[in-house]
Structure 1
Amino acid sequence: MSAVNVGLVGAGPWASGFHAPMLAGGPETRLAGVWARRPEAARALAGRFATRAFEDYGALLDACEAVSFAVPPEVQAPMAIQAARAGRALLLEKPLAADLAGAMALVDAIDTAGVPTQLMLTRRFRPGVRDFVERARAFDVRGAYVRHITDELFSPSYLNAWRERQGILLDFGFHALDLADAAAGGVKEIGAVGDPHGFMALTCLHEGGVVSQISISGRVVVPAGHLKTIDLYGPAGTLALDCRDLGDDSAATRFNVRSEFASAIRSGRSHPVDAHHGLYLQRLLTEAAAQLGQTLDGM
């Protein structure tokens, strides 16, 4: 299989620290170029990876088969719609858009264009998490408890404008709810309490009657900087995962993201963790936000 030419939109810390080295790091993909709102940032990042910086987004689309996005949701949605209409496959960040209407419009454009997509829920590409999810499918789950508790929002480099506005639901909530969904089944009902800018909790009723509880915060100092766990409960006992025990699996995770995106593009079929899955999660999290009196409008 020949390398897929992928253009990168964005030149911030996540683009430079994950997307660019991942796309340039293996034979499955080739980093075809970089576009960013700040041309000087695009040039600097492109120079690091011996590729081209584009000032015109349309020219980047002409130079690639697929686009990887590492920009805020209010920027991603309209640019991804343009890319889909140009027939380009999409590697999308979560949330899909700044609000549910924008996410729905993006998915409509994807469906109309028929382009394959993959969603960057990084944890779902970690080998240890995948092993846990496989074991969970053979476990008689009656209840689940998920924690996504970190100190990341104390870091100025992490707390950007959209996270400051939206709080933790559309960021950490995506990861936590997705893991509960993968391990305990599809979510039928969701409830929320707490502070979406501090510490909050979700309670979910899953298909088959499983109940899960999810604790989320980005402003708690914890060992190793994060506490990302899931515990499943059933008649046979418990099944647990603590992401701090997974070690450094960044190379394997990047390989999974890159190779599976390339396979989706060549097959023309979206990854199981795709834009539709992102819309499903965003719809649930928007419902949770409404229960807290929060409007996720991105502005």
Structure 2
Amino acid sequence: MRIGLLGTGPWARLTHGPALVEHPETELVGVWGRRPEAAAELAERLNTRAYDDADALFADCEAVAFALPPDVQAPLAVRAAAAGCHLLLDKPVATSGAAARELAAAAKASGVASVVFFTLRFAPESAAWVAAQSATNGWVTGRADWFSPVFGGSDSPYADSPWRAERGALWDIGPHTLSLLLPPLGDVASVTAARGPGDMVHIALRHVSGASSTMTLTHTVPPQAASVTAELRGAAGITTLPERGEGGAVTSLLRALDALLTAARTGEPHPCDAHFGARVTEILATAEAALPPAD
């Protein structure tokens, strides 16, 4: 599959670029970025071509992979879908329900396949855990807590990300936690939210199934307080999210590419498609609206 890369930041350099080059069934056609000099540098590193015009890249590709801020990604993805390109999207697909629904509608109207790269849904260990719990009945409650030190004193390459600093952990890691909780517990009927220190938010969800769940999300804990956990409780007992293996994000993205290729060939939607991505955005937008004003 001839695929283009949109984005030139750390996520593109460290994850998307290496995976697109490594995958045996993809050919990296070129790179587009908002800064032409950065696109040229990354294209040289990946032994491909830099494009000055995103639509020209769409015209040369069968698919495109996005490593861009959500509100930059969404309108470009609509154009890519209209050009007939399958979509490997980053999470969140947008930060407004309207933009997310427009993207999902564009993918449906054009008949292109879409996969949203919720990293944990494509890591082998956590993907198997979600599948097993989704096939198990009787869950009554769950939680997913992501304590990240990106802005808490770590040396993370994402600490310089303007959109993460502006939108906070709710929008950056909230999609990951929802991608774990929604499959076993079902869609969300109501949302409440409270603020903690820094960008910390506490979200309580009531699911259509009658189950409840909570999420605590932050990018502003010190490194020694960082952790990622998830848990479900119900008739089957208690189950916790397994630790990730050593494969890292590149391994997960290779699996996401497998999923996109399969969806494109078969026409069968993937569970993490643009429609699911839009629903995640709607829930996060509702949570944001429920938060009290920041101090």
Instruction: Answer whether TM exceeds 0.5 for this pair.
Output: yes
Decide whether aligned partners of structure 1 residues 165 and 61 sit closer, same or farther in structure 2, where only a CA change above 3 A counts.
same
Partner SS for 1:168: helix
Secondary structure of 1:6 counterpart:
strand
Deviations 1:9-59 (A, max 9, x none): 111110111111111112121111101111111111111121111112222
Aligned-residue offset at 1:214: 1.2
Contact 2:95 2:285 in 1 (8 A): no
Contact 1:35–1:56 (CA under 8 A) maintained in structure 2:
yes
Q: Which secondary structure does the structure 2 equivalent of 1:96 belong to?
A: coil
Q: Post-superposition shift, 1:156?
A: 6.9
Aligned counterpart, 2:265: 266
Is this contact kept in 1: 2:200–2:216, CA < 8 A? yes
Contact 2:205 2:214 in 1 (8 A): yes
For residue 200 of structure 1, report the CA deviation from its aligned partner.
Answer: 1.5
| CA pair 200-261 structure 1, distance change in 2 beyond 3 A | same
Q: Does 1:229 align with 2:226?
A: no
State yes or no: 1:292 paired with 2:291: yes
Deviation at 1:222, TM superposition (A): 4.5
- Output the amino acid matched with 2:128: D
Separation in 1, partners of 2:260, 2:293: 34
Whether 2:87 is the aligned partner of 1:96: answer no
Report the count of equivalent residues: 289
Partner secondary structure for residue 20 of structure 2: helix
User: Which position in structure 2 is the counterpart of 1:162?
Assistant: 163
Match of 2:143 among 141, 145, 157: 145
Residues in 2 aligned to 1:256 and 1:156: alpha-carbon distance in whole angstroms: 24
* Alignment partners' CA distance in 1, 2:8 and 2:200: 30
Q: Answer with 4-13 or 72-81: which moved more.
A: 72-81
Q: Is the 8 A contact 2:168 2:218 kept in 1?
A: no
Unaligned runs of 5+ in 1: none
Q: Which residue of 1 aligns with 2:25?
A: 28
Look up the SS of the partner of 2:206 in the other structure.
Answer: strand
| Maintained 8 Å contact 1:69/1:93 | yes
**Is 1:39 paired with 2:32?**
no
1:134-283 to 2 correspondence within 5 Å? 134-136=131-133, 137-138=135-136, 140-154=138-152, 155=155, 157-159=157-159, 160-195=161-196, 197-223=198-224, 226-242=226-242, 245-250=243-248, 252-283=251-282
Tell whether the 8 Å contact from 1:67 to 1:88 is kept in structure 2 after alignment: yes
Give the C-alpha shift of residue 153 in structure 1: 2.3
Distance in 1 (CA, whole Å) between partners of 2:99 and 2:65 is: 18
Are the counterparts in 2 of residues 168 and 197 from structure 1 also a CA contact under 8 Å?
A: no
Q: Displacement of 1:239 after TM fit?
A: 0.8
Structure 1 residues 86 and 289, CA gap change in structure 2 (3 angstroms): same
Q: How big is the shift at 1:139?
A: 5.3
Q: Which moved more, 1:99-108 or 1:7-16?
A: 99-108
CA deviations 1:105-142 (Å, max 9, x no partner) are 22222222221111011110011012211331325312
Post-superposition offset of 1:261 = 1.3
Query: What TM-score results when the alignment is normalised by the length of structure 2?
Result: 0.91
Please, what is the CA RMSD of the aligned residues?
2.1
- SS of match in other structure, 2:92: coil
Contact 1:107–1:276 (CA under 8 A) maintained in structure 2: yes
Distance 1:207 1:101 in 2: 22
Letter in 2 for 1:143: T
Larger deviation: 179-188 or 286-295? Answer: 286-295
TM-score (norm 1): 0.90
Partner of 2:7: 10
Q: Are 2:194 and 2:292, in contact at CA under 8 Å, matched by a contact in 1?
A: no
Partner SS state of residue 170, structure 1: helix
What percent of counterpart residues are identical? 36
Distance 1:176 1:61, change over 3 A: same
Q: Deviations over 1:141-173 (max 9, x none)?
A: 121121111101235741422122212211111
